[in-house]
């Protein structure tokens, strides 16, 4: 698919919404303390700009994202820990603001799918391996599903292919 | 007149596709060679008519015929010629027409070069292709006709979305579609095998080149799109885990798994049932991607609900093809005989592990992309699943995968020797440890995970080289003999080494860019100097300029390092008058594999302008990696052992088959 096209279209929509777009983090937002600013940047990457399509407030140039970035910095200046800032934003805007959803009954399936897929896949392979190792249950190696005619033809072809001095 | 011809050609293509859907199958049932051969002619004729239809739309765009709605909405008479052409697929209707054109192209290729396929297999494959084609022709003709006229033609068009007016649009979508749609061939082969109830190693030989070809295009397409986003969207990000990106990543992950499982099937006649399932799943994911992007469901579940025609139609196609093929699979797959025993520690075992991890990764992307949609539809609750989730879940899957990559090619088929492989990878292991130590010492006190990741990348790259060195017995026999052996190695072996090394290369780029990226954000006025990563950038001035269909403000920066002028960079901000939209044209300066990146913000009344300058160390390796992978794929594709199902069969082969038919 035109993988950027839709995001690009969304971006264009945003461009048209905000009269003149501001780039993501703006010079006047930056905090004086570099350590706090770094925390703000890291937090910003985890938070969604709610009017954008799948952009964090760190990436987005929408006015709302700027407001949220300022809010995050305001909370950090007020002495909140990272968790407190997140809690504050979730209380205000809901779980939607988190780009990495919290584990709860609604997101259980989401979080469990990757490990379960791996475990079940691994388990299935283990079972299959055991069944194959057991000669009574395993299938014959030679079963290729070809008639003897076809088998002969295939062998002829393979022989012709691998003969090194055969003119092409 | 041209629009009507284009429309009519598409209708004829549909009629041909319908014939091709039925007649060859009937022919195969009756064992009638003439009926089966109908598929060949219809597939070629279909290609001709779709190509004509596509050419008609291109002509309309190039000649700026604004009496056609599609041209009016997406073009402008002043637009440069290149963008008039690329604008054809820069919109929904046109991109769907490109989709079916490429589908017809692949069908035509099978018809033209599939002379050495068994007649009934070819008939089935082309019939399945025609089912897919018919569905999408109908979709275009009923819901997305690009040839609709406007009653009162306007004088000027509304222009193409400015973000899309870029060379990226010329290359990225066609590449991606060649990949996406290319997987339809392996799908058709899989369904044909299920219909015939027969599958063997020769089948895998026919499928593998097509899969490889699609995979090469998809790899390049995704990389290209990523680079496009990187320089066009203006904040230097290159992967966003955006649903649209995920839609292309899922078929890639599944397709990569398919490539490896088809290898096992070809060489060892094992994993047949799984390979067939993967072929079906890979193309199903391509279809899913088409649905996600084309239905508007991603923008909002509600947008989908208010104008459901297109979405519901594609959803229907999705259900019929995915549901149908999976049902067929459930019904017929048990009849396919399993073969080829192997021990867990073996080449097969390694490839199975590869498949397990890749499919789990694919499932992760799948659930992460669709879960928010499903949750909102079912409970009305809105959650976001974004980059932090995917980064968090992907790392545990890719670390073991990358650790295992160098071992795979060093293990023997059937029963491998893990200890022996580990011994032969000693050099790679040492290289990895040295890399970790060096990076750690160099960035002392910085990130702790990054040096480990660099070590892993070094292990993957050196592992690929170790495999080659092992095969040519480097340093164990005279060098001239080694060189002769290197020439004699199958190209597929070289291909594997390149592709695996590409993986490591991309990892280095990703780690460096995300960890040691430095930036400067500030307001600058002329003669101000910004310092980033040892470079000094002086803003010389701001100059307005007039382009063909836009006006721009160009900032000129002189870049110096240690007092010596390196280059001049000119980022700009463009205003497109027709749409009233603006874009940021970032300026990029490449130094080795690293880049300086400048993008402009707003100018304010006091004469300053907001500027963001990044130094991105080794960032280009992110894209060199996929290019290496694609190059490896190309080498492998050119291996003569693989050319059985590809163009130009050996004469003896063709004769033998014709005689047998």
Q: What is the pLDDT of residues A48-81, one digit of tens each?
A: 988 877 788 888 878 888 889 999 999 999 988 9
Burial of B113 (0-12, 13-18, 19+ CB in 10 A): middle
- Asked if residues B199 and B333 have their Cβ atoms less than 8 Å apart, the reply is no
Check whether residue B203 and residue B133 sit in a common domain. no
Rounded Cα distance between B533 and B614, Å, is 9
The contacts of residue B106 (CB under 8 Å, 6+ apart) are: B129, B181, B182, B184, B185, B210
Hunting for tokens 């095998």 — which residue is that?
B193
The two tokens of residue A76 are 């950090």
Name which residue leads in pLDDT, A38 or B233: A38
- Asked if residues B536 and B560 have their Cβ atoms less than 8 Å apart, the reply is yes
The two tokens of residue B322 are 């995915």
- Asked if residues A62 and A18 have their Cβ atoms less than 8 Å apart, the reply is yes
- CA R_g for chain B: 27
The CA distance from A77 to the nearest CA of chain B, in Å, is: 20
* Residue A146: per-residue pLDDT: 62
Closest residue in B to A90 (Cα) is B383
Rounded Cα distance between B87 and B79, Å, is 10
Q: Quick check: is B394 in a domain?
A: no
Q: What is the DSSP letter of A22?
A: P
- Work out whether the CA dihedral B234, B238, B239, B244 comes out positive or negative: positive
Q: Which long-range contacts (CB under 8 A, 24 or more apart) does A154-163 make?
A: A154/B200, A154/B201, A154/B202, A156/B656, A157/B202, A157/B644, A157/B653, A157/B656, A157/B657, A160/B650, A160/B652, A160/B653, A160/B656, A161/B640, A161/B641, A161/B644, A161/B650, A161/B653, A162/B641
Which CATH number is B356's domain given?
1.20.120
Rounded Cα distance between B284 and B74, Å, is 30
Grouping H, G, I as helix, E, B as strand and the rest as coil, residue A99 is coil
Rounded Cα distance between B288 and B309, Å, is 17
The two tokens of residue A12 are 């264009």
Element (H, E) at B522: strand B518-524
- Asked if residues B179 and B96 have their Cβ atoms less than 8 Å apart, the reply is no
- Asked if residues B571 and B598 have their Cβ atoms less than 8 Å apart, the reply is yes
Element (H, E) at B13: helix B2-30
Residue length of chain A: 168
Check whether residue B192 and residue B336 sit in a common domain. yes
Q: Which of B162, B187, B202 is the last residue of a domain?
A: B162
Number of cross-chain residue pairs from A and B with Cβ atoms under 8 Å apart: 241
The contacts of residue B453 (CB under 8 Å, 6+ apart) are: B507, B511
Residue length of chain B: 661
Rounded Cα distance between B68 and B88, Å, is 12
Ordered mean pLDDT values, 10 residues apiece, chain B (661 residues): 93 96 94 92 96 96 93 90 91 92 95 87 94 95 92 86 82 91 94 88 86 95 92 82 90 95 86 91 93 76 68 89 93 78 85 94 94 89 90 92 92 86 90 92 83 94 92 85 87 92 95 90 90 92 88 92 92 84 88 92 83 92 96 89 48 42 37
Hunting for tokens 């604008």 — which residue is that?
B87
Check whether residue B146 and residue B170 sit in a common domain. no
A24-97 is classed CATH 3.30.70.260: no
* Residue B270: per-residue pLDDT: 83
Q: Quick check: is B74 in a domain?
A: yes
The two tokens of residue B236 are 């230097």
pLDDT higher than 80, residue A3: no
Residues from chain B contacting residue A119 (CB–CB below 8 Å):
none
* Residue A25: per-residue pLDDT: 76
**Site from B297, B601, B661 to mutate, A interface, most A CB atoms within 10 angstroms:** B601
- Work out whether the CA dihedral B241, B246, B252, B258 comes out positive or negative: positive
For helices B308-318 and B119-143, angle between their N-to-C axes, nearest 10 degrees: 170
Rounded Cα distance between B93 and A154, Å, is 45
Q: Quick check: is B642 in a domain?
A: no
Angstrom distances, CA of residue B113 to CA of B175, B198, B625: 21, 22, 31
Q: Is residue A136 less than 8 Å (CB to CB) from chain B?
A: no
Check whether residue B465 and residue B373 sit in a common domain. no
Per-residue HEC secondary structure of B190-253 comes to HHHHHHHCCCCHHHHHHHHHHHHHHHHHHHHHHHHHHHHHHHHCCCCCCCCCCHHHHHHHHHHH
The most distant pair of C-alpha atoms in chain A lies apart, rounded to whole Å, by 83
- Asked if residues B89 and B630 have their Cβ atoms less than 8 Å apart, the reply is no
* Residue B197: per-residue pLDDT: 84
Q: Quick check: is B105 in a domain?
A: yes
Number of Cβ atoms within 10 Å of the Cβ of B468: 18
Grouping H, G, I as helix, E, B as strand and the rest as coil, residue A125 is helix
Phi, psi of B524 (to 5 degrees): -125, 145
Q: Quick check: is B480 in a domain?
A: yes
Hunting for tokens 């080449």 — which residue is that?
B347
pLDDT higher than 70, residue A165: no
- Asked if residues B611 and B592 have their Cβ atoms less than 8 Å apart, the reply is no
Q: Is residue B119 less than 8 Å (CB to CB) from chain A?
A: no
Grouping H, G, I as helix, E, B as strand and the rest as coil, residue B165 is coil
The contacts of residue B571 (CB under 8 Å, 6+ apart) are: B554, B555, B557, B584, B585, B586, B587, B598, B599, B600
**Site from A2, A136, A151 to mutate, B interface, most B CB atoms within 10 angstroms:** A2
Burial of B514 (0-12, 13-18, 19+ CB in 10 A): middle
Check whether residue B328 and residue B179 sit in a common domain. yes
Closest residue in A to B198 (Cα) is A145
Cβ contact (<8 Å) for A3 and B242? yes
Residues from chain B contacting residue A48 (CB–CB below 8 Å):
384, 386
Check whether residue B148 and residue B185 sit in a common domain. no
The two tokens of residue B182 are 């290319």
* Residue A15: per-residue pLDDT: 34
The contacts of residue B314 (CB under 8 Å, 6+ apart) are: B139, B290, B291, B294, B295
Closest residue in B to A96 (Cα) is B383
The CA distance from A73 to the nearest CA of chain B, in Å, is: 16
* Residue B617: per-residue pLDDT: 93
| Banded pLDDT at A32 (limits 50, 70, 90) | confident
Q: Quick check: is B81 in a domain?
A: yes
Q: Is residue A138 less than 8 Å (CB to CB) from chain B?
A: yes
Which of B299, B338, B363 comes nearest A53 by C-beta? B299
Q: Is residue B402 less than 8 Å (CB to CB) from chain A?
A: no
Number of Cβ atoms within 10 Å of the Cβ of B38: 20
- Asked if residues B635 and B492 have their Cβ atoms less than 8 Å apart, the reply is yes
Q: Domain range for residue B140? A: 1-162
End-to-end CA distance of chain B: give it in Å, rounded: 46
Does ipTM exceed 0.85? no
Q: What residues of chain B, 63 to 102, have a C-beta less than 8 Å from chain A?
A: 89-90, 95
Cβ contact (<8 Å) for A54 and B386? yes
Rounded Cα distance between B272 and B200, Å, is 8
- Asked if residues B596 and B580 have their Cβ atoms less than 8 Å apart, the reply is no
Full-prediction pTM beyond 0.80? Answer: yes
Rounded Cα distance between B294 and B139, Å, is 11
The CA distance from A139 to the nearest CA of chain B, in Å, is: 6
Check whether residue B282 and residue B425 sit in a common domain. no
Angstrom distances, CA of residue B281 to CA of B323, B359, B481: 11, 10, 45
Rounded Cα distance between B237 and B222, Å, is 14
Angle at B130 between CA B126 and CA B132, to 5 degrees: 120
Rounded Cα distance between B196 and B191, Å, is 9
The contacts of residue B234 (CB under 8 Å, 6+ apart) are: A23, B583, B584, B585, B586, B599
Rounded Cα distance between B501 and B469, Å, is 14
Burial of B252 (0-12, 13-18, 19+ CB in 10 A): buried
**Structurally, how many domains does chain B consist of?**
4
pLDDT higher than 70, residue A164: no
* Residue A142: per-residue pLDDT: 42
Angstrom distances, CA of residue A3 to CA of B103, B487, B506, B627, B630: 19, 39, 20, 18, 19
* Residue B302: per-residue pLDDT: 63
Check whether residue B194 and residue B102 sit in a common domain. no
Check whether residue B153 and residue B178 sit in a common domain. no
The CA distance from A27 to the nearest CA of chain B, in Å, is: 5
Residues from chain A contacting residue B392 (CB–CB below 8 Å):
100
The two tokens of residue A7 are 């995001």
Q: What residues of chain B, 284 to 303, have a C-beta less than 8 Å from chain A?
A: 289-290, 292-294, 298-299
Quote the distance between the C-alpha of residue B138 and its chain's center.
26
Which of B162, B389, B600 comes nearest A101 by C-beta? B389
Burial of A108 (0-12, 13-18, 19+ CB in 10 A): exposed
């Amino acid at each position: 698919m035109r993988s950027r096209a839709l995001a690009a279209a969304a971006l264009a929509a945003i461009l048209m919404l905000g009269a003149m777009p501001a780039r993501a983090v703006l010079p006047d937002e930056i905090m004086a303390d570099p350590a706090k600013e770094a925390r703000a940047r890291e937090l910003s990457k985890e938070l969604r700009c709610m009017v954008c399509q799948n952009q964090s407030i760190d990436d987005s140039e929408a006015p709302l994202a700027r407001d949220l970035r300022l809010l995050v910095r305001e909370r950090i200046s007020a002495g909140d820990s990272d968790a407190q800032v997140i809690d504050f934003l979730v209380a205000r805007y809901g779980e939607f603001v988190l780009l990495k959803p919290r584990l709860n009954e609604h997101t259980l399936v989401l979080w469990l799918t990757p490990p379960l897929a791996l475990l079940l896949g691994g388990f299935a392979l283990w079972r299959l391996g055991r069944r194959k190792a057991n000669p009574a249950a395993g299938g014959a190696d030679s079963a290729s599903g070809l008639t003897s005619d076809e088998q002969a033809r295939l062998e002829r072809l393979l022989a012709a292919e691998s003969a090194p001095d055969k003119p092409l | 007149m041209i629009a009507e011809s284009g429309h009519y050609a598409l209708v004829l293509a549909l009629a041909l596709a319908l014939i091709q859907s039925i007649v060859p199958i009937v022919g195969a049932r009756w064992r009638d060679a003439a009926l089966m051969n109908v598929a060949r002619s219809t597939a070629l004729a279909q290609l001709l008519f779709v190509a004509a239809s596509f050419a008609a739309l291109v002509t309309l765009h190039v000649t700026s015929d604004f009496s056609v709605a599609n041209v009016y909405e997406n073009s402008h008479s002043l637009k440069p010629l290149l963008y008039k052409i690329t604008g054809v697929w820069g919109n929904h209707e046109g991109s769907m027409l490109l989709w079916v054109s490429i589908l017809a192209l692949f069908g035509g290729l099978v018809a033209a070069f599939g002379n050495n396929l068994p007649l009934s297999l070819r008939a089935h494959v082309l019939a399945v292709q025609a089912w897919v084609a018919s569905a999408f022709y109908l979709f275009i003709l009923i819901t997305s006709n690009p040839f609709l006229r406007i009653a009162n033609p306007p004088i000027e068009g509304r222009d193409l979305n400015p973000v899309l007016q870029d060379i990226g649009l010329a290359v990225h979508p066609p590449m991606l579609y060649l990949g996406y749609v290319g997987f339809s061939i392996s799908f058709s082969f899989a369904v044909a095998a299920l219909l015939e109830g027969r599958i063997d190693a020769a089948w895998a030989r026919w499928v593998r080149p097509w899969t490889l070809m699609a995979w090469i295009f998809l790899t390049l397409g995704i990389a290209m799109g990523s680079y496009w986003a990187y320089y066009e969207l203006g904040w230097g990000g290159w992967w966003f885990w955006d649903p649209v990106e995920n839609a292309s990543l899922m078929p890639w992950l599944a397709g990569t798994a398919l490539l490896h499982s088809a290898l096992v099937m070809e060489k060892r006649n094992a994993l047949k049932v799984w390979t067939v399932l993967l072929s079906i799943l890979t193309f199903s994911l391509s279809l899913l991607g088409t649905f996600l992007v084309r239905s508007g469901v991603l923008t909002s579940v509600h947008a989908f609900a208010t104008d459901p025609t297109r979405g519901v139609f594609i959803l229907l196609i999705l259900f019929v093809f995915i549901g149908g093929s999976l049902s067929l699979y459930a019904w017929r797959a048990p009849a396919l005989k399993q073969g080829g025993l192997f021990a867990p520690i073996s080449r097969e075992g390694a490839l199975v592990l590869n498949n397990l991890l890749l499919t789990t990764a694919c499932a992760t992307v799948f659930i992460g992309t669709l879960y928010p949609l499903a949750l909102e539809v079912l409970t009305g609750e809105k959650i976001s699943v974004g980059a932090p989730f995917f980064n968090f879940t992907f790392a545990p899957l890719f670390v073991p995968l990358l650790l295992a990559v160098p071992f795979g090619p060093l293990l023997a088929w059937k029963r491998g020797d893990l200890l022996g492989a580990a011994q032969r990878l000693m050099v790679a292991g040492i290289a990895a440890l040295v890399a970790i130590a060096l990076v750690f010492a160099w960035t002392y006190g910085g990130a702790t995970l990054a040096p480990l990741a660099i070590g892993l990348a070094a292990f993957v790259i050196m592992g690929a080289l170790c495999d080659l060195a092992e095969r040519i017995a480097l340093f164990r026999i005279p060098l001239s003999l080694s060189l002769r052996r290197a020439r004699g190695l199958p190209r597929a072996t070289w291909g594997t080494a390149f592709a695996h090394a590409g993986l490591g290369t991309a990892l280095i780029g990703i780690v460096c860019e995300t960890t040691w990226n430095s930036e400067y954000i500030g307001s600058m006025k002329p003669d101000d100097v910004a310092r980033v990563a040892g470079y000094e950038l002086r803003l010389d001035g701001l100059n307005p300029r007039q382009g063909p269909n836009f006006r721009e403000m160009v900032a000129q920066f002189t870049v110096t390092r240690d007092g010596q002028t390196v280059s001049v960079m000119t980022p700009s901000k463009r205003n497109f008058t027709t749409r009233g939209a603006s874009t940021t044209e970032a300026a990029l300066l490449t130094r080795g594999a690293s880049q300086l990146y400048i993008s402009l913000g707003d100018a304010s009344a006091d004469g300053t302008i907001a500027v963001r300058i990044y130094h991105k160390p080794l960032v280009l390796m992110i894209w060199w990696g996929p290019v290496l992978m694609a190059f490896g794929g190309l080498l492998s594709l050119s291996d003569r052992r693989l050319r059985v199902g590809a163009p130009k069969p050996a004469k003896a082969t063709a004769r033998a088959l014709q005689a047998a038919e």
